[in-house]
């Protein structure tokens, strides 16, 4: 049965009343329009028109007519909505002339996946998705008071934080997303949901839904969930470590594995690592796309700062976890959950594939704690650092041909424009720290 007919039959069989048509702006915010299910067949055929000039990074007012075309393969019932009578579908964006819109982040990842496919690869990703749960005040506004006092892998009396994770796992299991685990993270009020790997486009679609589910379930239980990378000074921030591999189309071969290779890694794996390291500074603005992202990327809080790789060392930017054969994978540790997953996966893949194309050899793995090295030791070993601020990351990105080619001119220029505005606004702020530190003495 064709996909469209199957979806429409399911809408009728499940008694769906409303369908949300969803997509993302370039910053990673979910955009949505709700239609009654009776209008869904028409939407599948013609899409839904919207004003692109009102979406961040999409279009100017002169070229604002856009159309969101549902991808029926992404249709999903939303059991976390009241009564399970709602569904969502993710859209591809088209211009008024019927062409794919080059400013659609999903299209950027689709193009990169096609490039990988031409090279014989299916790019799989599996994220470790961290977030904080905070209590609400008497007016229902979020506070910075964590929902608990737990630490890494802590298990204690059942509280509503545990119930939040259990409910999220239940919903994602029910809809076939196969979540692997949920646990408490290092900081108080910090939690993690791990999703089983899938091809990167499917995974980006799932992350878009995961963000919505986490926030919806948290609010239902009286909490505010945030993906802000560093909401609290002095404790660990939230990352999105991304496990990634290159597989054959039938899933029977992992191109990162070579039983006779060094560390049992193939040349493709080592060159992929080489690409990720070589272009790490250029991709940082997308992988860590907010001013606050760089408050997480500081020494001392288990977040990567230095551009190295390792097999065991968790202070490295890239780690090769245990497991070989089909389980061989690389873990990139600097992305955070506040970004746009379509763009994040696209630039990771672009950097890795470029490493394969250029046969970029990675340096030797560094298996000792880089944080405890001196500056001179790191300099001697040729260990570079990630950008220290959004401003530095944007400056590096602005000169990157890889980023311009991967994102396309439209998103490249719009992303830089929007983010330069954010950086300049932040740079002009006078913070509480400055007042308390300098006002009494200057």
SS3 string, 183-252, reads EECCCCCEEEEEECCEEHHHHHHHHHHHHHHHHHHHHHCCEEEECCCCCCCCCCCCCEEEEEEEECCCCC
DSSP 120: T
CB count in 10 Å sphere of residue 135: 16
Catalytic member of 148, 162, 192, 258? 192
CA gap 80, 405 in Å, rounded? 39
The two structure tokens encoding residue 140: 């229902």
Catalytic member of 162, 167, 185, 199? 185
Catalytic member of 130, 162, 199, 205? 130
Cβ 352 vs Cβ 275: under 8 Å: yes
Could you give the maximum distance between any two Cα atoms of the chain, in Å? 75
Active site residue 128: yes
Catalytic member of 25, 104, 128, 282? 128
CA angle, residues 160, 161, 166, in degrees to nearest 5: 90
Catalytic member of 224, 241, 243, 329? 241
Distances (CA, A) of 252 to 1, 119, 213, 271, 352: 27, 16, 32, 21, 21
| Structural element, H or E, at residue 111 | helix 105-118
N- to C-terminal Cα distance for the chain? 75
Active site residue 12: no
| Structural element, H or E, at residue 94 | strand 86-95
Active site residue 369: no
Active site residue 185: yes
HSE toward the beta carbon, residue 63, CA cutoff 13 A = 11
Catalytic member of 29, 312, 314, 417? 314
Active site residue 192: yes
Instruction: Judge residue 83's burial from the number of C-beta atoms within 10 Å of its C-beta, 0-12 exposed, 13-18 middle, 19 or more buried.
Output: exposed
Catalytic member of 205, 282, 331, 336? 331
Active site residue 331: yes
Catalytic member of 51, 145, 154, 369? 51
Distances (CA, A) of 351 to 167, 281, 309: 36, 11, 15
The two structure tokens encoding residue 234: 């002095």
CA gap 306, 115 in Å, rounded? 29
Active site residue 333: yes
DSSP 100: B
Rg (CA), the chain: 22
Query: Which residues are tagged catalytic?
Result: 51, 128, 130, 185, 192, 241, 314, 331, 333
């Amino acid at each position: 049965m064709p996909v469209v007919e199957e979806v429409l039959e399911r809408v009728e069989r499940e008694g769906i009343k409303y369908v949300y048509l969803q997509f993302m702006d370039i910053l990673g915010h979910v955009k949505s329009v709700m239609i009654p299910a009776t209008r869904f067949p028409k939407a599948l055929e013609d899409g839904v028109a919207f004003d692109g000039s009102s979406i961040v990074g999409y279009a100017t007012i002169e070229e604002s007519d856009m159309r969101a075309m549902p991808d029926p393969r992404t249709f999903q019932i939303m059991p976390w909505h009241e009564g399970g009578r709602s569904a969502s579908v993710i859209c591809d964006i088209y211009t008024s002339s019927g062409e794919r819109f080059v400013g659609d982040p999903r299209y950027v990842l689709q193009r990169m996946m096609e490039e990988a496919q031409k090279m014989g690869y299916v790019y799989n990703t599996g994220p470790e998705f961290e977030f904080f749960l905070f209590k609400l005040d008497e007016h229902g506004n979020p506070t910075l008071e964590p929902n608990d006092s737990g630490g890494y892998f802590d298990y204690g009396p059942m509280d509503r934080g545990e119930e939040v994770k259990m409910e999220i796992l239940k919903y994602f299991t029910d809809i076939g997303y196969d979540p692997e685990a949920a646990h408490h993270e290092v900081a108080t009020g910090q939690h993690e949901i791990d999703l089983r790997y899938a091809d990167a486009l499917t995974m980006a679609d799932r992350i878009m839904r995961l963000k919505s589910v986490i926030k919806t379930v948290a609010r239902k239980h009286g909490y505010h969930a945030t993906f802000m990378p560093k909401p609290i000074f002095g404790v660990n921030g939230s990352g999105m470590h991304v496990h990634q591999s290159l597989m054959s189309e039938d899933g029977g071969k992992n191109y990162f594995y070579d039983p006779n290779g060094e560390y049992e890694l193939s040349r493709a794996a080592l060159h992929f690592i080489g690409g990720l390291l070589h272009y790490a500074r250029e991709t940082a603005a997308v992988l860590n796309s907010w001013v606050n992202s760089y408050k997480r990327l500081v020494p001392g809080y288990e977040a990567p700062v230095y551009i190295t790789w390792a097999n065991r060392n968790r202070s490295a930017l890239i780690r090769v976890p245990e497991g070989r054969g089909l389980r061989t994978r690389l873990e990139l540790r600097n992305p955070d959950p506040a970004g746009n997953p379509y763009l994040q996966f696209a630039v990771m893949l672009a950097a890795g594939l470029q490493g394969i194309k250029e046969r970029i050899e990675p340096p030797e793995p560094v298996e000792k704690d880089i944080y405890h090295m001196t500056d001179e030791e790191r300099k001697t070993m040729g260990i570079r650092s990630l950008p220290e601020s959004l401003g530095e990351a944007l400056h590096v990105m602005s000169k990157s041909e890889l980023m311009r080619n991967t994102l396309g001119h439209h998103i490249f220029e719009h992303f830089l424009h929007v983010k330069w505005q954010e950086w300049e606004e932040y740079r002009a702020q006078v913070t509480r720290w400055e007042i308390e530190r300098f006002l009494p003495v200057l």
